[in-house]
Amino acid sequence: MAQLWGGRFTGSINELAWNFNASISFDKRFLEQDVRGSKAHATMLAKQNIISEEEKKLITEGLDSILEDVKSGKLEITSKYEDIHSFLEANLIDRVGDAGKKVHTGRSRNDQVALDMRLYARGEVEHMADLLNNMLETLLDIMKANTETYMPGFTHLQKAQPVTLAHHVGAYFEMFKRDLLRMKDIRERMNYCPLGAGALAGTTYPLDRDYTAQLLDFYGPTLNSMDSVSDRDYLIEFLAALSTVMMHLSRFSEEIIIWNSNEYRFVDIDDAYSTGSSIMPQKKNPDIAELVRGKTGRVYGDLMSLLTTMKGIPLAYNKDMQEDKEAAFDAIDTASNCLTLFTDMLRTLKFNKENMEKSAMMGFTNATDAADYLVVKGMPFRDAHSVIGRLVLYCIDKKCAIDDLKIDELKSFSELFDEDIYDAISLETCVNKRLTVGAPSPVVMKKVIDANEAFLKEFKL
């Protein structure tokens, strides 16, 4: 058993306790971060004359060779090591001798793992931002192509008013745009280096923490050594943001599932993102959308697990905090896979525009516009609302739309109706005359599309 402690102990640890305590099975994904952090630490130690330049060279070359051998398969990370840190240091000592024993000078596993997790999370935040950017570009392409694709807008899952597909998809653009901006905020707050904080109280060695932070592309060092080793706020923020991403994906998945149903037939999902039934040959199921919807709860659970782990921990580091890794890894992997697959599915989705338009023409989505027509003619809105309500009841009884009624029938409800009512409540007019900022008319949507395009072009993490 390879470990970084033991001098104070006379007996050996129970095997079950060793396995329970070890983290090598999951923190091995920190190998590259641990190598990078160790090289930066050694470079700083040499700059401060704590180790020699020759020792620094041996350490950095040894670390690079270990990383290369693991990647090529020559060296295996096994369970005989307690964690990735003991694996790396033990193999370094085997390769470079006493110089390897100096790499941990002025450093603790506490600030070492804090650094590894921060480096890893920072990279994943950047990766998530790339995935969100891809999603936004896909949504924008759909918006550009569908400013005049009419469909019903819903409230309470009931047809409400006509909109366009560009407008509907634009709502999701706003959601994922906020998700992207959250990644930027998280990166800003997390981008400070904990290395050099030691176990909790710094060190007596003359470390240059600013230099270490610079080598690792941080804005600077963290300013309290106790907080440095016990802070997981940035990870909680990240998982909370991922939970929001998943909530947005789940809402969109629910709509795709509904739109894909026989009753709606708004979309056709590509075969690459569907499966069939083992017994019903006619079935084509939206399994990817359903799984994304289902996996949302999994990411929520990871967030709650981390929050629960952290809520009772006194300063500074405690072993409970080892539990942050598996929850974080699972949430990151799950959200990344869901976002990638959903974006690919969306990119290949076929929209049945004719069905969407037919659906928008049914369900009295133009009732509000009919009421507005009477208001323009001089009737108070509340009275107009009542007239159109009675008119809708009449149409339901006749099993027809408002547009299907003859002018004499309309006039029986109000003499204010005239031949121009048919144009006023047409699908095109209902959408096109909505010209306020954020409304669905093609004129407004084109301005929004231009603004969204500029945002994506100018955005930097």
3-state secondary structure the chain: CECCCCCCCCCCCCHHHHHHHCCHHHHHHHHHHHHHHHHHHHHHHHHCCCCCHHHHHHHHHHHHHHHHHHHHCCCCCCCCECCHHHHHHHHHHHHHHHHHHHCCCCCCHHHHHHHHHHHHHHHHHHHHHHHHHHHHHHHHHHHHHCCCCEEEEEECCEEEEEEEHHHHHHHHHHHHHHHHHHHHHHHHHHCCECCCCCCCCCCCCCCCHHHHHHHCCCCCECCCHHHHHHCCHHHHHHHHHHHHHHHHHHHHHHHHHHHCCCCCCCEECCHHHCECCCCCCCCCECHHHHHHHHHHHHHHHHHHHHHHHHCCCCCCCCHHHHHHHHHHHHHHHHHHHHHHHHHHHHHHCEECHHHHHHHHHCCCCCHHHHHHHHHHCCCCHHHHHHHHHHHHHHHHHHCCCHHHCCHHHHHCCCCCCCCCHHHHCCHHHHHHCCCCCCCCCHHHHHHHHHHHHHHHHHCCC
Question: Does 5 score more than 50 pLDDT?
Answer: no
Q: What is the pLDDT of residues 32-48, one digit of tens each?
A: 999 999 999 999 999 99
The pLDDT confidence band at residue 275, using thresholds 50, 70 and 90, is confident
Q: What pLDDT is stored for residue 13 in this prediction?
A: 67
pLDDT at position 1 over 60:
no
User: 132 pLDDT exceeds 70?
Assistant: yes
Task: Quote the pTM value.
Answer: 0.93
User: How high is the pLDDT of residue 282?
Assistant: 78
- pLDDT tens profile 221-247: 999 999 999 999 999 999 999 999 999
Region 206-213: mean pLDDT is: 98
Closest CA to 30 of 128, 112, 125: 112
Active-site choice (52, 156, 228, 243): 156
Q: Looking at per-residue confidence, does 277 or 259 come out higher?
A: 259
230 is a catalytic site residue? no
pLDDT score of 9 more than 60: no
Overall average pLDDT of the 306-320 stretch: 96
The pLDDT tens digits for 107-117 are: 999 999 999 99
**Percentage of the chain lying above the pLDDT 90 cut:** 92
277 is an active site residue: yes
Q: What tens digit of pLDDT does each residue of 84-113 get?
A: 999 999 999 999 999 999 999 999 999 999
Among residues 277, 359, 385, 386, which one is catalytic?
277
Q: Round the average pLDDT of the chain to a whole number and report it.
A: 95
